[in-house]
Structure 1
Amino acid sequence: MPRILAIDYGIKRTGLAVTDELQIIASGLTTIPSETAIAFLKDYFSKENVSKVLIGEPKQMNGEPSESTAVIEKFVTQFKEVFPDMTVIRVDERFTSKIAFQTMIDSGLKKKQRQNKGLVDEIAATILLQDYLTRKMI
Structure 2
Amino acid sequence: MSGIAEKQQRLLEDLGIFQDWTERYEYVIGLGKKLEPIADSARDSEHLIKGCQSQVWLDAVMKDGRVYYYADSDSLITKGMIALFIDVLSGETPDAILTADMGFIEKTGLKEHLAPTRANALNLMATQMKQRALAFAG
TM-score normalised per structure 1: 0.30
**When you count strand as a share of all residues, which structure comes out higher?**
1
**When you count helix as a share of all residues, which structure comes out higher?**
2
TM-score normalised per structure 2: 0.30
Query: With CA pairs under 8 Å and 6+ residues apart, which has the higher RCO, 1 or 2?
Result: 1
